[in-house]
Amino acid sequence: VQLVESGGGLGQAGGSLRLSCTASGFTFDEYAIGWFRQVPGKEREGVACISSIDGTTSYADSVKGRFIISSDSAKNTAYLQMNNLKPEDTAVYYCAGETFEGVTEKADFFYAICRYGMDDWGKGTLVTVSS
């Protein structure tokens, strides 16, 4: 399993950036993909998640209404569209994934892994937002 992020870089406050996460070694069937971010010295934060089963999404309160997560199963790629960027969005952004295989309570599982983390991780991409 490999997850590779791209699209990070420098953005301006009020502007937009789009991150991509391309997966290999598995397909998006029965899988959850999430974006997490971390600032040095602070705890990792779950930003947004999407379920490939039914398209359910979940967002952190800090990004609701500004960020949009989506996925393209044909391309095995997930995206994070970040709009109305704020300096506090500056962080390393990680793509993560976990399978629903063998999970019975999928809804509870989905929200738990969106908050606490997933099994498979990319190496991260830095997003810096200038004021």
The residues of the chain scoring below 50 in pLDDT are: none
Report CA dihedral (116, 58, 90, 43) to the nearest 10 degrees: -20
Give the pLDDT of residue 58. 96
Residue 2: the pLDDT is 93
Q: DSSP H helical segments within the chain, as ranges?
A: 106-116
Distance CA 92, CA 40 (A): 9
pLDDT at 30: 85
Amino acid 19: pLDDT: 98
pLDDT digits (tens, 9 = 90+) for 70-100: 999 889 999 999 999 999 999 999 999 999 9
Q: How far is CA 125 from CA 40, 52, 94, 100, 112, in A?
A: 14, 23, 7, 26, 23
pLDDT at 29: 79
- Residue written as tokens 């960027």? 85
Helix (H) or strand (E) holding 62: none
